Amino acid sequence: MGKNIAVIFGGTSSEYSVSLQSAASVLENFPKKYNAVPIWITRKGKWFHFWGSIDNIRADKLERCEKAVLSPDRTSKCLITKTENITISAAFPVMHGMGGEDGTLQGLIELAGIPLCGCGTLSSAICMDKFRAHKLVSTADIAVPAGRVFSMRDKIDTAEIELEIGFPAYVKPLRGGSSCGISRVVNADELISAVKKAFEFDSEIIIEQEIKGVEVGCAVMGNNDLITGEVDEIKIEDGFFDYTEKYTPKTSQILCPAPVAADISNQIKQTAKTIYKTLGCKGFARVDMFLDENGNIIFNEVNTIPGFTEHSRFPSMMKAAGYTFSQVVEMIIEGATNE
């Protein structure tokens, strides 16, 4: 029997369904030398050890399962259920958003002394925070959009926003994902309702200058010696890359490799690596940037657990660079167990 690797999915964030799809693909492509121990966290936050079919993960049908908890006791390193204690050699959270990608789950895994696949507590938390991630990345001389952060108690002066940020602007929950709660606003009138909507998702929001250009992304993997996937580009006919376009594209298309000159693509890869290092990332992450109308690379965000279905951007970028889905999963697990 190979080592037991906990694959944790679901969770209480608005990206629960996306996580189920990602986890199903990861489990379907799981390297034969390891033994996957699927852990399903419900929308309410209940933990289950799951041994049902991958199809039922896709269909959100929780069956063949038993309540389970991951022990924080460093001497046990195991998943505890009523019937057994399962020793865990590494944990791979395949979860998006709060409570899975934001450092909290990573903290539990680190506390338990279990090798963690992907970014640790601190970098996960920083990457989740769109404003603080920008502040840190700008110290590495990488451009970021002008932005301001507001908590619910702050007064938002629309005239000030118009002056400092300008319109169109993006209003986003500070720690969101999948474009949930994000609006593009073109004037001060639209700002009020956009702010209200963003606050439904988080207690802090960011208002950001619109970058005119295209969105590009780059998969980065590794701990010290980094490798990258091919750069991709999001081609959008209309509007922005919102939830609908991400999961049921109508006017958008992902071009991988991106149709840019080789030197630009190399520059994007180098910038992605610098961003990854600056934010203390490990294992794997997808670095999203803009390539503006003047050819400048501007940081947008790092997804420390990017979408992981077979059609998702991260695996596609790695595939374009010559790595199969299963090799990518193996590299991620090895990155944790060989640390």
Ligand X SMILES: Nc1ncnc2c1ncn2[C@@H]1O[C@H](COP(=O)(O)OP(=O)(O)O)[C@@H](O)[C@H]1O
Closest separation in Å from C-beta 173 to ligand X: 8
Position 179, amino acid: S
- Which residue lies nearer to ligand X by CB, 167 or 240? 240
Q: Could you tell me how many residues make up the chain?
A: 339
Q: Which of 98, 99, 75 is nearest to 87 (CA)?
A: 75
Tokens of 169: 């602007």
Amino acid at the residue 181: G
| Binding residue for ligand X, selected from 178, 228, 271, 316, defined by CB under 6 A | 178
Q: How far is the CB of 241 from ligand X (least distance, A)?
A: 3
201 binds ligand X (CB under 6 A): no
Strand order in the sheet with 169-173: 147-151, 204-209, 169-173, 183-185
Site track for ligand X across 225-244, x = CB under 6 A: ---------------xx---
Decide: is 100 part of the binding site for ligand X (CB under 6 A): no
Residue 215 interacts with ligand X (CB under 6 A): yes or no = yes
Strand 65-70 relative to strand 47-50, pairing: antiparallel
Using rule CB under 6 A, residue 14 touches ligand X: no
Residues 122-141 that bind ligand X (CB under 6 A): 130
Under rule CB under 6 A, residue 102 binds ligand X: no
CB of 84 to ligand X, least distance (A): 38
3-state secondary structure of 144: coil
Q: What is the DSSP letter of 183?
A: E
Cα separation, 107 vs 118, whole angstroms: 12
Euclidean distance between CA atoms 132 and 181, whole angstroms: 19
Applying CB under 6 A, which of residues 15, 110, 232, 301 lies at the interface with ligand X?
A: 301
Q: Is 175 helix (H, G, I), strand (E, B) or coil?
A: coil
90/317 with CB nearer ligand X: 317
The amino acid occupying position 277 is K
Q: Which residue in the shown chain puts its C-beta closest to ligand X?
A: 241
According to CB under 6 A, which one of 99, 100, 120, 177 is a site residue for ligand X?
Answer: 177
Number of neighbours of residue 71 by Cβ within 10 angstroms? 19
**Residue 273 CA to its chain's centroid (Å):** 16
Region near ligand X per CB under 6 A, out of 110-118, 155-163, 174-182, 321-329: 174-182
Choose which of 15, 102, 202, 210 interacts with ligand X (CB under 6 A): 210
Contact characters 56-95, ligand X, x per CB under 6 A: ----------------------------------------
- φ, ψ dihedrals at 48, nearest 5°: -135, 140
Residues found near ligand X in the complex (CB under 6 A): 130, 145, 170, 172, 176-179, 182, 208-211, 215, 240-241, 288, 300-301
